[in-house]
Amino acid sequence: MTRILAIETSCDETAAAVVENGRHLLSNVVATQIELHSRFGGVFPEVASRQHVLAIQPVIQQAIQEAGLPHVRALDAIAVTHGPGLAGSLLVGVNAAKGLAFASGLPLLAVNHLEGHIYSNWIEAPNRPAIPENAFPAIILIVSGGHTELILMTGHGQYRQLGATLDDAAGEAFDKVARLLELGFPGGPAVQRAAQHGDITRFILPRPLLQNDAHRFNFSFSGLKTAVLNMVRQLEKQGENIRDPQLVADIAAAFQNAVADVLVHKTADAATAFGVRQVCICGGVSANSLLRSTAEKQFAQMRLPLYIPPLFLCTDNAAMIGTAAYYGAQPTTALPHTLTMDVLPNLPLPEIGSVG
């Protein structure tokens, strides 16, 4: 039996979890800072770092307690996100994890945050089928506030990036459109809420790069955001009240629909092109209900198993870091991680090769 304590502080959530045998959650604690950052309309790095150092110890203690463990020393390893993310935020988790490893003598495993999101689909959760042990090859769509990437996964720790966003990440586009429509922060839930009563057919927005062979697996969302901005200006010129809740709802619905459409179509295209056995969607934006339902319809039609984490594992959490550490720590991919490791704010996903 392997029990890993995982710590995640790459952005604005202070999180710790204990994961047993890679897939089974013994505890999963997340202290969110959303309210603190909402008045800035985005994550304020220094505020995030200050909050992490306040929260880190109680969050770790709670994770150990809720796992029913008497002490850190009852664990087998410490795992921590060392990148990508905000440097000042990462430093709090990494140094706390190092302190734990130093004092307890437990091995310290450095985990890539993106790999964490990928492995959020491997965690056991109630009311969902577990992903089979041999799930490969699989297509992974990582879609969050900082990342939009299509990845071909051929084995544990074996990734090939097929494409990524050329500009804004999908989550970033949600934040920007939410700001534009004065819906608040974070943008994902705010746009979804507003779109609930929207008419999806009233406005049609462009589907960036959907018919573009040169960028078959790449994304671009900054143009879509501009299209929303232009549409709002146009409507204003036509004398529309752009604060009218129905109008805002219709715009939000059109935007959300365009994003979900592009994400699902490109993922389906990649799934067909590489003949994969399953499709995984993960990252904060995978909590979006329209994206989830669009993907479910699409992959049911294609008779491909689709895995999307339950909502509580879509946003940043430490459970996924523990799971990634467990699979990453298998002998074939093990790396020596010592107390000298540093934070890597721009860490990419490890690559086995790019698409030729």
Partner 1 sequence: MLLALDTATDTASLAIYDLAAQQLLAELTWQARRRQTQDLLSTAQQLLAQLNLTPPDLTALAVTTGPGSFTGVRIAISAVKGIGLGLPTPPITIGIPTLCVTAAPWFLLASRHPTAVTICAFLQAGRGRYNWALFAADALLWRPTAAEHYGGTAAEFAQALAEVASALWLVGEWDENLAEVVRDLPHVTLMDKVSGLRRAGQLARLAMLHLANGAPDELQTVQPLYLRNP
* Binding site residues, partner 1, CB under 8 A: 44, 46-47, 49-50, 52-54, 56-58, 60-61, 64, 71-73, 87-88, 91-106, 338-343
The nearer residue to partner 1, 44 or 274, going by C-beta atoms, is 44
Compute the distance between CA of residue 49 and CA of residue 39 in angstroms, rounded to an integer: 17
3-state SS track over 189-223: HHHHHHHCCCCCCCCCCCCCCCCCHHHCCCECCHH
Query: How many other C-beta atoms are found inside a 10 Å radius of the C-beta of residue 341?
Result: 17
Compute the distance between CA of residue 170 and CA of residue 160 in angstroms, rounded to an integer: 20
Range list of β-strands (E), 21-157: 24-32, 77-83, 108-112, 138-143, 148-155
Least separation in angstroms between CB 25 and partner 1: 20
Least separation in angstroms between CB 36 and partner 1: 10
The nearer residue to partner 1, 87 or 164, going by C-beta atoms, is 87
Least separation in angstroms between CB 350 and partner 1: 20
The nearer residue to partner 1, 56 or 304, going by C-beta atoms, is 56
Compute the distance between CA of residue 147 and CA of residue 139 in angstroms, rounded to an integer: 16
Least separation in angstroms between CB 269 and partner 1: 42
Compute the distance between CA of residue 18 and CA of residue 29 in angstroms, rounded to an integer: 9
The nearer residue to partner 1, 107 or 188, going by C-beta atoms, is 107
> Is the CB of residue 217 less than 8 Å from the CB of residue 270?
yes
The nearer residue to partner 1, 22 or 88, going by C-beta atoms, is 88
The nearer residue to partner 1, 52 or 292, going by C-beta atoms, is 52
| Cα 59 versus chain centre, distance | 21
The nearer residue to partner 1, 52 or 225, going by C-beta atoms, is 52
Q: How buried is residue 168: exposed, middle or buried, by Cβ count under 10 Å (0-12/13-18/19+)? A: buried
Angle at 162 between CA 112 and CA 287, to 5 degrees: 60
Amino acid at 289: S
> Is the CB of residue 208 less than 8 Å from the CB of residue 219?
yes
Least separation in angstroms between CB 93 and partner 1: 8
The nearer residue to partner 1, 73 or 197, going by C-beta atoms, is 73
Q: Which residues pair with 8 in a beta bridge?
A: 15
What does residue 297 show for φ and ψ, rounded to 5 degrees? Answer: -60, -50
Least separation in angstroms between CB 63 and partner 1: 10
The nearer residue to partner 1, 47 or 242, going by C-beta atoms, is 47
Burial 214-245 (b: 16+ CB within 10 A, else e): eebbbbbbbbbbebbeebbeebeeeeeeeeee
Least separation in angstroms between CB 19 and partner 1: 18
Least separation in angstroms between CB 54 and partner 1: 7
Least separation in angstroms between CB 33 and partner 1: 12
> Is the CB of residue 350 less than 8 Å from the CB of residue 157?
yes
Q: Which residues pair with 83 in a beta bridge?
A: 112
> What's the token pair of residue 70?
């008497």
